């Protein structure tokens, strides 16, 4: 088992998402895909984690060369405090300059066909609407995903097919109220959606799907 | 923001999506750069494979343009022809090119400054090494 990255002691979890079961499930899914030889070890690849929060998952990807030894990894968040923590966490865990961090929403700034791998633990909890980030409240945007908890994920998946490279793929977390099986049918004309990992966490059932273009 | 990243970032204003001039962004010539040049050949050698793969992926003209914006006109006008096979027998000139690319792409960072979209003129700021690509509500 790959060890879990360390986090700095002074992260303010009132403003940055504290890694939880969802975070760990996504790392486990990436580790098992890595161990199953899903990622070429020599190819030069570009990856992006959207919504990197504390930077735990991005550090895991970089430290354990999940996407191969010739990877360049980008991390983004819409919360500037999360972006700051992400670079701190990456530096704490690995001495490298093959990464970058961006204050950015989803994928609209990314040049078409650029991404070989995309990773996203989105705000997935159902809510009346998608919250707006403010300096008083930076955590609601980490959790609340609007109708069925799917509004953010749905926008992302619409952008995805243009941004992925030829054989690119995305790893995205869903909870049961996101109705992933129904969603899979809905996007079936454009994407394959395969279950990689599933776990009961308290009263939630979380799953990680790999999404590829048809 | 690493120089390599500028090769993957464009304007996100909807109207610019199909406009060729929204990539690459135009970097302000006052941008403050930080250079962490690596001289240790053995470290650079470990990145040869990576660099050759990156060469294949990058848009050379966009890189030339961003470098020119920032006052660097040292790059050859055409993308160097290097393949994984050519790594088996590199000449001095090729080693020099790889070293130059390594230092330029991942060891040169824009720490403060701004970049502008040539299509809609929106200005994005870079602060403490982090580009702010978020759009104000009226544009997003
Ligand atoms: C559930 S948290 C996951 C954080 C971290 N990746 C982890 O697994 O611990 C979701 C993250 O997505 C960010 N986020 C929310 N909306 C976003 C958007 N439109 N674009 C980019 N990031 C977003 C939040 O700020 C938050 O850091
Ligand atoms: Zn624009």
Domain boundaries, chain A: 21-213
Q: Which CATH superfamily is domain A21-213 in?
A: Vaccinia Virus protein VP39 (3.40.50.150)
Contacts of A135 in chain B (CB under 8 A): none
Please state, in angstroms and as integers, the Cα–Cα distance from residue B29 to each residue in A21, B69, B100, B114, B130, following that order. 45, 6, 21, 9, 17
Instruction: Give distance in angstroms: CA of A14 to centre of ligand 2.
Output: 34
Output the tens digit of pLDDT for each of chain A's 214 residues: 999 999 999 999 999 999 999 999 999 999 999 999 999 889 999 999 999 999 999 999 999 999 999 999 999 999 999 999 999 999 999 999 999 999 999 999 999 999 999 999 999 999 999 999 999 999 999 999 999 999 999 999 999 999 999 999 999 999 999 999 999 999 999 999 999 999 999 889 999 999 999 9
Interface with B, mutate which of A42, A84, A100, A134 (most B CBs under 10 A): A100
How many distinct structural domains can be found in chain B?
Answer: 1
Q: Evaluate whether residue B139 is within a structural domain.
A: no
Q: Which residues pair with A198 in a beta bridge?
A: A207
ipTM above threshold 0.95: yes
A111 and B9 in contact by Cβ < 8 A?
yes
Partner A, chain B 18-37, Cβ-Cβ below 8 Å = 23, 36
A78 and B129 in contact by Cβ < 8 A?
no
Whether B44 contacts chain A with CB within 8 A: no
Contacts of A74 in chain B (CB under 8 A): 5, 8
Cα B122 from Cα B24, distance rounded (Å): 13
Question: Helix (H, G, I), strand (E, B), or coil: what is residue A77?
Answer: strand
Q: What is the DSSP letter of A148?
A: G
A110 and B10 in contact by Cβ < 8 A?
yes
Question: Helix (H, G, I), strand (E, B), or coil: what is residue B110?
Answer: strand
Nearest C-alpha neighbor of A4 from the set A55, A49, A51, A39: A55
Cα A120 from Cα A145, distance rounded (Å): 13
Token readout for A141 is 């945007």
Cα A13 from Cα A11, distance rounded (Å): 6
CATH number for the domain spanning B97: value is: 2.20.25.10
Residue B77 host element (H or E): none
Q: State the helix-helix crossing angle for A56-63 and A21-35, rounded to 10 degrees.
A: 20
DSSP-derived pairing of the beta strands B123-127 and B130-131: antiparallel
Which residues span the domain enclosing B30? Answer: 3-12+22-132
């Amino acid at each position: 088992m790959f060890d879990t990255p360390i986090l700095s002691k002074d992260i303010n979890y009132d403003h940055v998402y504290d890694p939880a079961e969802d975070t760990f499930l996504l790392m486990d899914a990436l580790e098992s895909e890595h161990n199953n030889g899903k990622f070429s070890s020599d190819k030069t690849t570009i990856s992006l984690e959207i919504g990197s929060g504390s930077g735990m998952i991005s550090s895991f990807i970089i430290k354990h060369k999940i996407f191969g030894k010739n990877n360049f990894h980008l991390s983004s968040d819409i919360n500037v405090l999360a972006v700051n923590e992400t670079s701190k966490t990456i530096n704490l865990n690995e001495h490298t300059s093959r990464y970058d961090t961006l204050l950015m929403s989803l994928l609209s700034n990314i040049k078409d066909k650029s991404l070989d791998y995309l990773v996203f633990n989105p705000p997935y909890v159902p809510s009346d609407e998608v919250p707006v980030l403010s300096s008083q409240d930076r955590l609601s945007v980490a959790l609340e995903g609007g109708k069925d908890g799917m509004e953010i994920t749905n926008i992302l998946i619409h952008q995805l097919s243009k941004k992925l490279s030829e054989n690119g793929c995305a790893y995205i977390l869903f909870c049961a109220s996101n109705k992933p099986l129904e969603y899979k049918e809905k996007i079936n004309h454009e994407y394959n959606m395969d279950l990689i990992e599933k776990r009961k966490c308290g009263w939630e059932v979380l799953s990680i799907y790999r999404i590829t273009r048809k | 923001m690493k120089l390599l990243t500028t090769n993957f970032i464009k304007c996100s204003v909807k109207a610019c999506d199909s406009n060729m001039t929204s990539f690459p962004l135009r970097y302000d010539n006052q941008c403050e750069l930080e250079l962490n040049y690596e001289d240790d050949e053995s470290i650079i050698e470990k990145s040869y494979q990576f660099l050759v793969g990156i060469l294949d992926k990058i848009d050379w003209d966009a890189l030339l343009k961003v470098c020119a914006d920032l006052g660097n006109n040292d790059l050859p006008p055409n993308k160097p022809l290097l393949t994984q096979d050519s790594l088996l027998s590199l000449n001095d000139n090729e080693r020099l090119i790889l070293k130059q690319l390594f230092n330029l792409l991942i060891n040169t960072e824009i720490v403060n400054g701004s970049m502008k979209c040539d299509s809609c003129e929106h200005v994005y700021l870079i602060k403490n090494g982090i580009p702010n690509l978020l759009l104000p509500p009226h544009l997003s």
